[in-house]
Structure 1
Amino acid sequence: MALIYLLVGSTAGSDPTGASTVLRFPNSYGFINQFVFGLGSLLAVAYAAAIGGSDWNWGVFRVIVARGESRSRYVIIKFVAVAIFLVIGILIAYAAGIALTLLAATMSGVSVGGPLSGGGGEDLARSIGFGSLVVTERAALGFAVAMLLRSQLAGVVTGIVLFIGEQILATVILFTTLSSSGTGFGEGLQPIGPEWFQFLPFSIGDSVLSQAPSIGGGPETLLLNPVPLELGIAVTVMYLLGSLAIGALSAERTQISG
């Protein structure tokens, strides 16, 4: 992100109008969101899976059983700590994004405006609020996968594959649906939906994030209506809690010897 901002800052002076999306608030929040909640989601899945699977590799649960502690309580507390760490990381990354925006604007001589001006305060709150929820939910999915597989490496790899694979699957299903029904293509690309695949565990977060500033997305943003915000948040929370329950249940039911 820093390299891209520096590149934009060094070249935007020749065409200030082209830098408005990246270097002017509140438009710049859409660019920051792409990094913090796009790439950040992938990193969160890998990080949570690594943390969730590490206990099996290091034999921590044997110690917990020997002490007579609740395994499910331990799992939940551990994920809460992971979630807190992720939120702190989001705040730091967002602060860095704002600072880089100001730096790049100074380098290019573009008037950046204030981070809280022109509706920027509301955009900032929505971005961090919705983004933190989505990243935490996706991290919970990776955490649950690692708990089920009882492996750090398998959890990380499987979590990443599921994250990327679901995006590819949703895109394939979208175009298959459009081509088979004729809806959308024959009507000037009118958006359809919400469709069932928008409620998949990772995909539901995209509908929530669509309510925050964005600089654009894939074809699904043009061809699909987003899931209503209230429903999207409810389903996201359901997946988050369900993932925690699965992780805790997996720890409770696993036979630990030695």
Structure 2
Amino acid sequence: MRMLAAELLKLRRRWATYIVLVLLIVLMGLIFFLVGLGGRTSGASQVIRFPQAFGLINQFVFGLGSLLAVAYAAAIGGADWNWGVFRVVIARGESRGRYILVKYIGLAIVILIGCVIAFAAGILLTYFAGTIAGASVGDPFTGSGPGDIATSLALGFPVIAERAAIGFAVAVLLRSQLAGVVVGIILYIGESILAAVLIATNLSGAFSGGGGFPRLGQQWYQFLPFSIGDSVLSHGPSVTGQDLEGLILTPVPLDAALAATLIYLAAALALVVVSVERSEITA
């Protein structure tokens, strides 16, 4: 507990902790402002009415928010190498593996707090957008609202924690903050591009054979680290309507998607613990 309290104190003093959260809320506010303006002349106001609005909030908090969490986790994980903190840890006789796990737990707690704050900000911004659009957004705490909030956080946090763990692990393994950020961005964007290319290839083959509009079933790339998180989030509140991928691919069941997400999380942490324990750290 003493080590965890120390890690939380260090994170509280880091400017990055506040910059990342403020950046997310500002970007979310900008989009809600634009949606509110569009709601005056179109059906966009439906998106900012509860409970549909929870889907839009989720896209920001656990979509864009997860990318920012990867960058934040990489910055925290890689900083210890730059500042020589591990040398101090060894000199104190602390366990390297225990230290790195506690560091991640502290990071996960801060990310959870950030998710709750950002989600609350999203609810307030929904009212802001509704005021601009001149539309009633309803009450987020009636009907299915409380359940939607709980479901969003319960499904979203494991996803954002897994993605942050990947950025954290890469930064520690390569002893570089930049490497963790770059790998996270590549996975975040690259998996979507890969899925789009493979879907297009499969569709091209299906249509050339004279068949109708095909449904491809489950595909292996749905189980990649970031894609599987999207499968988890798809079981929570979402914006009405499906994208092309959702129409063509069979969704991964929630229990399988959540299990795969937790496996990736555990694997990332196990890998970083083994690496730190075996690393040579000179004084």
TM-score relative to the length of structure 1: 0.91
Segment of structure 1 superposing worse, 194-203 or 175-184: 175-184
1:170 & 1:18 partners in 2: Cα distance? 28
2:34 & 2:191 partners in 1: Cα distance? 32
CA contact (8 A) 2:70 2:180 kept: no
Q: CA deviation at 1:14?
A: 4.2
The answer to whether 1:203 aligns with 2:227 is yes
19, 35, 52: which is aligned to 2:45? 19
1:233 & 1:82 partners in 2: Cα distance? 21
CA contact (8 A) 1:144 1:246 kept: yes
1:233 & 1:220 partners in 2: Cα distance? 19
Q: Secondary structure at the match of 1:191?
A: coil
Q: Which residue of 2 aligns with 1:142?
A: 167
CA contact (8 A) 2:74 2:181 kept: yes
264, 269, 276: which is aligned to 1:239? 264
249, 253, 256: which is aligned to 2:274? 249
2:166 & 2:209 partners in 1: Cα distance? 32
- The one-letter code matched in structure 1 to 2:163 is R
Q: Which residue of 2 aligns with 1:101?
A: 126
1:69 & 1:130 partners in 2: Cα distance? 34
1:201 & 1:156 partners in 2: Cα distance? 15
Q: CA deviation at 1:83?
A: 0.7
2:41 & 2:198 partners in 1: Cα distance? 43
* Pairing 1:76-155 to 2, within 5 Å after superposition: 76-155=101-180
| Long gaps (5+) in structure 1 | none
- TM-superposition CA deviations, 1:133-174 (whole Å, max 9, x none): 101111111111112111112222222223222221222223
The answer to whether 1:72 aligns with 2:86 is no
206, 231, 236: which is aligned to 1:212? 236
Residues 217/151 of structure 1: CA separation in 2 closer, same or farther (3 Å cut): farther
- TM-superposition CA deviations, 1:196-236 (whole Å, max 9, x none): 11111111101101101222565312211111001111111
1:124 & 1:85 partners in 2: Cα distance? 19
Q: Which residue of 1 aligns with 2:18?
A: none
1:90 & 1:183 partners in 2: Cα distance? 46
Give percent identity, aligned residues only: 57
Q: Which residue of 1 aligns with 2:86?
A: 61
Q: Which residue of 1 aligns with 2:5?
A: none
Q: Secondary structure at the match of 1:116?
A: coil
CA contact (8 A) 1:179 1:185 kept: no
Segment of structure 1 superposing worse, 113-122 or 48-57: 113-122
2:197 & 2:121 partners in 1: Cα distance? 35
1:69 & 1:18 partners in 2: Cα distance? 55
CA contact (8 A) 2:49 2:136 kept: yes
CA contact (8 A) 2:38 2:44 kept: no
CA contact (8 A) 1:183 1:192 kept: no
Q: Which residue of 2 aligns with 1:41?
A: 66
Q: Which residue of 2 aligns with 1:163?
A: 188
CA contact (8 A) 1:26 1:116 kept: no
CA contact (8 A) 2:77 2:177 kept: yes
| Long gaps (5+) in structure 2 | 1-27
